[in-house]
Amino acid sequence: MQRLAPALRQDNVPLDLISLIKTILAATKEISFRVSQAHLGGLMGSTLDENIQGEVQKKLDVVANELFKDILLESGFVRAISSEEEDTSVAGDEKGKFVVSFDPLDGSSNIDINSLIGTIFSIHEAIPGMDAEDPAQFQQQGNKQVCAGYVLYGPSTMLVMTTGSGTHFYVLDRTHGGYLLVERNVQVPKDTQEFAINMSNQRFWQQPMQNYINDLIAGDTGPRGKNFNMRWIAAMVGDIHRVLTRGGLFTYPADSKKPEQPYKLRLMYEANPMSFLIEQAGGLAMTSTGRIMDIDPNDIHQRVEVIMGSANEVEACLSYYK
Ligand code: FBP
């Protein structure tokens, strides 16, 4: 099996980006170890602090964030970072060529139940001539990403990544401590009979989404004429990994549960990187009004509607909004 660096060189990835990717992955190996030892190391449970999103931070959220932040800021490759666990963007090296947005531990509610969690990252080139301190560094559309990926901490630690030449799967080989390429150019099947949504929010969804999901549940007795199965891991990394592996539709739609906050998932370090991976694997990644990666960001913690996965099923869902 091919090691990471030759696999990236095969995709003509520039050397400085390869160096940054290797830096990011060094942090994920440490996080993978800490996650596997969390119970033994007293890292289960929550801190008394809340992040800027108003979420109580898990101890592992904080550990993963510090690990990721420190290794990136001391690398020399990074002009600035933005993280789910940081109130604002954090300046790095003024000569740094890249900016990195990340969710150090996605699916935090799964930590205490020993279920799937992961790290999500998105890399843009730094805007020339702009200060490292300037949060406008992150006002770049998702279609300008040069790399995106996640590391899934599951039975095996898996890296799923794209640099714009397809979406590839890697597995962390614990014997030599490196990621090995196990599948190149994964393709999301165009059609599917599997969907993922938090059903408990149903009464708060907009009517088009209610109608779409009701027709999925009606199965072969309804207008779709076939049965659908539902899955919900409650960690985007886990649900998207299933979609990339065998197809499906994943959605976190707008809802009126908190009218002042109609969306749940964050654009910069959840929706954009997952969109790049899904599109590079032949799927679609949309809101009900347009392509996620064409959204102009206005805040590093901005939230958006998400409908992504098997292309024909995403189209079917969007047809309910017409
Ligand atoms: P964080 O855990 O990083 O805050 O991410 C949000 C998230 O856990 C997603 O990974 C997941 O898709 C969603 O929230 C689950 O939402 P819900 O709690 O409504 O099931």
Mutate to test the pocket of ligand 1, among 236, 252, 274 (most ligand atoms within 8 A of CB): 236
Residue nearest to atom 8 of ligand 1 (CA): 107
Check residue 43 and give its pLDDT.
86
Mean pLDDT of the chain: 96
pLDDT for position 164: 98
pLDDT of residue 255: 97
Query: Is pLDDT at 138 greater than 90 in this prediction?
Result: yes
Ligand 1 center to residue 58 CA distance, Å?
A: 13
Query: Ligand 1, from 56, 110, 252: best to mutate by most atoms within 8 Å of Cβ?
Result: 252
59-87 residue pLDDT tens: 999 999 999 999 999 999 999 999 999 99
pLDDT exceeds cutoff 80 at 158:
yes
Q: Which atom of ligand 1 is nearest to the CA of 200?
A: 19
322 CB contacts (<8 Å, ≥6 apart)? none
The ligand 1 atom nearest the CA atom of 109: 2
pLDDT band at 149 (very low <50, low <70, confident <90, very high): very high
Q: Find the 234 Cα to ligand 1 centroid distance in Å.
A: 5
| Residue 220 DSSP symbol | G
Please give the distance, rounded to the nearest whole angstrom, from the Cα atom of residue 204 to the centre of ligand 1: 17
Q: At what angle do helices 311-319 and 207-218 cross, to 10 degrees?
A: 120
Looking from the CA of residue 53, the nearest atom of ligand 1 is: 4
Residues 6+ apart with CB under 8 A from 88: 82, 135, 300
The binding-site residues of ligand 1, defined as CB within 6 angstroms of any ligand atom, are 55, 84, 103, 106-109, 198, 234-236, 264
What are 200-248's pLDDT values in tens digits? 999 999 999 999 999 999 999 999 999 999 999 999 999 999 999 999 9
Half-sphere exposure of 193 (CA within 13 A, CB side): 9
pLDDT tens for 263-285 read: 999 999 999 999 999 999 999 99
pLDDT value for 54 = 78
DSSP letter assigned to residue 262 = -
- The answer, yes or no, to whether residue 47 has pLDDT greater than 90, is no
pLDDT at 45: 82
CA–CA dist 32, 313 (Å, integer): 34
In this prediction, residue 8 has a pLDDT band, given cuts at 50, 70 and 90, of: very high
182 compared with 58, residue with greater pLDDT: 182
Which of 108, 152, 305 best tests ligand 1's pocket when mutated (most atoms within 8 Å of CB)? Answer: 108
Residues 284 and 192 sit within 8 Å (Cβ to Cβ): no
Confidence of residue 261 (pLDDT cuts 50, 70, 90): very high
Q: Which pLDDT score is estimated for 258?
A: 94
Query: Residue 277: phi, psi to the nearest 5?
Result: -65, -45
pLDDT of 256 reads: 97
| Residue from 152, 265, 268 to probe ligand 1 pocket by mutation (most atoms less than 8 Å from CB) | 265
pLDDT of residue 217: 98
End-to-end CA distance of the chain: 46
